[in-house]
Amino acid sequence: MGIDFNDRLSAQLDYRGLRAAFAPEAIYQAFLDVERAVALAQGKLGMIPANSAAAIAAACNVERLDRSRIEMGFATTRHPLMPLINELVRVVGEPHGGYVHWGITTQNVIQSGILLLAQRAQATLDELLSEILAHLGRHARAHATTTMAGRTHYRHAVPITFGFKVAVWIDELLQAIDRLNEVRARAFVVMSGGAVGCFSALGPQGPAFQREVAQLLGMGEMAIPSRAIRTHMCDYMNALGLAAAVCHRIAEEVYQTSAEEYDEIHEGRVAGSIGSSTMPQKINPILAYGIIAGAERLYALAGMLMSLAHRPFESDGSANQIFEDAMPDAIGAMADVLVRTEAMLRDLVVDPARMLVNLNLSHGAIHGELAMMQLGRTLGKHTAHEKVHDIAVSAADGGRAFMEQIASLPGGGELRAEIDRRLSGGGSNGICAEYALHFGALAERAANGTLPTPAERLLHVEPPC
């Protein structure tokens, strides 16, 4: 997960065991878990002797194997799985060792084992997503009416509330969780079809055997266990990337708006933290830029897998190796993203006073849409748009202030008073607070294990009488 000093920084965060999700011991044990399930399934179906199945299953524990023999085996066999199989055969002993790895192939074990570890890691990623939702829900409710500038194309648009901004993040994250929930049934699947996926060594019992293996491992199974099918893994990787993209966007806003020019939100400061070796005043948004870096790594991995999904014939070693290497890297990158996002949002500092200061930077012009809509009732929307536009440009070019020119229009006094009220924190445009409270409650529900349906996410507001 990075060079040594980056790993040392990451170790200060709570990774919930994810940093060891694909440690060598975990990978070996996952492969052994697959071999155990294979033996037990075959013993149950009478494909191998029941006592041989029991002996193999009992030996499928990484602590029973001689790791030095396995490591030496890599040097002689130049094969990714045979050293482990040979050691398992040795530990099982004769005659039962002869039924180890019966009728299956290397990629069956490696791919199924890697996906088994990914499924286990995903359970922890799910917990982090729930904690992130809980933090977002808290911020949405706390800042439902905290007025700030909404920005489009990096420019002031109309006033919103910070709670509304967070509600948008919540909705997008709920969509990302939907994708992850939907894809896992396709992605976390056993493949045990043998050399090319047609159960050439096992025959008609093959489908029943694979079904049993999947049940023993708590996974799904491939409809056709072809070694050439890779799109389900691409699907999962893309779902991870889209979830990371939500965290990336949140981090980008924290990263940018913690700058002195904005200073609206920033990471919680840790006593003793140092931002620069030469600029002692610096305290950098280290969590935010770590999120951005992790997300960018994940996008690259997803793109790389997509570029290899088409490899021809019934299997391809180059594609296999990249897919097998990419999955641990992807889980590691996603762990970096979610662990940092949880920590950042948990201690996020919001400055409503600075938000009001920034809201006033355009001296009222941010309420141009409000002015246009009010004037449009008498002038028509198009004419009102032109008039407010001309006033805003004139003020920006050094003419009379925007608010003065607005006040000079018919009915402008009341309009100016309304804009002044809103600029002092007296309200944003639209139904920002309603969205913030609604999605804040949905986030709390989701964090507690009840994911709202798409229909439940729709906001229903009673119009005023």
pTM (predicted TM-score): 0.92
C-alpha closest to that of 133 among 352, 296, 297, 338? 338
Q: Determine, yes or no, domain membership for 317.
A: yes
Is pLDDT of 216 > 80?
yes
Q: Which residues contact 76 (CB under 8 A, 6 or more apart)?
A: none
Question: Quick one: 304 and 251 in the same domain?
Answer: yes
| Residue 369 near residue 158 (C-beta atoms within 8 A) | yes
Question: Quick one: 287 and 335 in the same domain?
Answer: yes
pLDDT-derived band at 171, boundaries 50, 70, 90: very high
Specify the DSSP element, H or E, that contains 151: strand 147-152
Is pLDDT of 84 > 80?
yes
Q: Which of 357, 372, 405 is the last residue of a domain?
A: 357
Measured distance CA(52)–CA(316) in Å, rounded: 33
Measured distance CA(150)–CA(111) in Å, rounded: 47
Looking up residue 40, the CATH number of its domain turns out to be: 1.10.275.10
Mean of pLDDT values over 436-461? 94
Residue at 97: amino acid letter: G
Question: Quick one: 375 and 344 in the same domain?
Answer: no
Total Cβ atoms within 10 A of residue 69: 14
| Residue 287 near residue 268 (C-beta atoms within 8 A) | no
Question: Quick one: 84 and 140 in the same domain?
Answer: no
Residue 158 buriedness (CB in 10 A; 0-12 / 13-18 / 19+)? middle
Q: Determine, yes or no, domain membership for 217.
A: no
Is pLDDT of 1 > 70?
no
Q: Determine, yes or no, domain membership for 434.
A: no
Sequential DSSP letters for 249-293 = HHHHHHHHHTSTTT-SEEPPPPTT--S-SS-TT----HHHHHHHH
Q: Determine, yes or no, domain membership for 9.
A: yes
Question: Quick one: 267 and 326 in the same domain?
Answer: yes
pLDDT-above-70 percentage for the chain: 94
Q: Determine, yes or no, domain membership for 202.
A: no
Question: Quick one: 250 and 326 in the same domain?
Answer: yes
C-alpha closest to that of 224 among 188, 192, 185, 183? 192
Is pLDDT of 312 > 90?
no
Q: For residue 210, give both structure tokens.
A: 């694979």
Looking up residue 269, the CATH number of its domain turns out to be: 1.20.200.10
| Residue 266 near residue 349 (C-beta atoms within 8 A) | yes
Q: Which of 338, 357, 376 is the last residue of a domain?
A: 357
- Give the domain range for residue 369: 360-426
Question: Quick one: 50 and 172 in the same domain?
Answer: no
Specify the DSSP element, H or E, that contains 375: helix 368-379
Question: Quick one: 143 and 165 in the same domain?
Answer: yes
Q: Determine, yes or no, domain membership for 222.
A: no
pLDDT at 6: 59
Question: Quick one: 329 and 249 in the same domain?
Answer: yes
Residue at 437: amino acid letter: L
Measured distance CA(418)–CA(408) in Å, rounded: 15
Sequential DSSP letters for 409-463 = STTHHHHHHHHHHIIIII--STTHHHHHHHHHHHHHHHHTT-PPPHHHHS---PP
Q: How many domains does the chain have?
A: 3
Q: Which of 321, 339, 357 is the last residue of a domain?
A: 357
